[in-house]
Amino acid sequence: MSSVIKKLPTNTLGKDYVIGDLHGCLDLLDRLLQNVNFNTTCDRLFSVGDLIDRGPFPLKCLQLLDKPWFFAVKGNHEAMLLECFANYLLTNTLPNTTDFDDSDFIYNGGEWIYKWLNLDKQFIASELKTSLKTTAELPLIYIIGTDESRFNLIHAELTKPKKNQTDSMVWLDADIDQWYEENAISPAVEHRLLWSRTLMDSDDSEYYHPKVQTGLSTTFCGHTISKTPKQFLSHVCLDTGAFLSINANSGFCLSLYDVNDSKCLSVAYHQEEVNVTSFIIQKEN
């Protein structure tokens, strides 16, 4: 049985990094990992999901899931991919190219799948099926470490359906821990974990959100693009629009967070240098 939430201990041997939404930009990731001298024997790379669609190497990014040092939560793009192949995974009947027309997946950057569907069926069965099975096993939440060193990993947001005066706007560690015990997340919560932009889109122009939410550990996420990482209510959003940086001088980039050294590294197409900036995550005392 697959787990909707997975736990990992603190990394005592090497360093931990978190990468924003990759969307096929494997070449940008390679440059960042080279820059930090990523050590595949002891370092870990966490992904906030959305490995596929839009950028140049979607399938190769999905195949990162085979690496022992790579850990990802499911993004809404992986969820849309799985929806398209649900019947295939159950019955082994390969879909027809036309089955995908008008799907959310194709409308959201999934056209790359046509190339694979039109290739040798045997190739699909071997290359893609393994990745689909791995993708289906992805959790919605990772909990890494405990107590002070704990951080969570999700795709979008832990926002609750409605904000009221007395309640927090977001779910807390205690809620996540309870879902872990039950190995269950309600469909409504799952939907917001994959799709919500309530917090990140409201920014501080509409509502003021403090950086820290009492009771919620630092929670790395992505899904909502802005040019620099931002923190609201313990959520640290690392989606800086990697695939959009294919346009010169766009201001977008791929962001990698160095958890141990509180640094953010970024790189873009058309940009030779890797930028390194200090990014201290605010935590409650």
Q: Counting contacts by CB under 5 A, is residue 157 touching Mn ion? A: no
- The minimum distance between CB 113 and Mn ion, in angstroms, equals 17
- The minimum distance between CB 96 and Mn ion, in angstroms, equals 27
Q: Counting contacts by CB under 5 A, is residue 50 touching Mn ion? A: yes
Q: Counting contacts by CB under 5 A, is residue 44 touching Mn ion? A: no
Residue 77 a catalytic site member: yes
Residue position matching structure tokens 């791929």? 254
Helices (H), the chain: 26-35, 58-62, 76-84, 86-91, 104-107, 112-117, 121-123, 129-136, 173-182, 187-195, 198-206
- The minimum distance between CB 248 and Mn ion, in angstroms, equals 24
- Lateral strand order in the sheet of 70-72: 70-72, 44-47, 16-19, 254-258, 263-267, 275-278
Catalytic, out of 23, 77, 155, 235: 77
Q: Counting contacts by CB under 5 A, is residue 223 touching Mn ion? A: yes
Q: Counting contacts by CB under 5 A, is residue 196 touching Mn ion? A: no
- The minimum distance between CB 57 and Mn ion, in angstroms, equals 17
Q: Which residue is nearest to Mn ion (CB)?
A: 223
Output the CA–CA distances (angstroms, integers) from residue 138 to 75, 92, 267, in the order listed: 9, 20, 27
Q: Counting contacts by CB under 5 A, is residue 78 touching Mn ion? A: no
Contact range with Mn ion by CB under 5 A, out of 9-17, 72-80, 82-90, 92-100: 72-80
Residue 80 main-chain phi, psi, to 5 deg: -70, -40
Catalytic machinery residues? 77
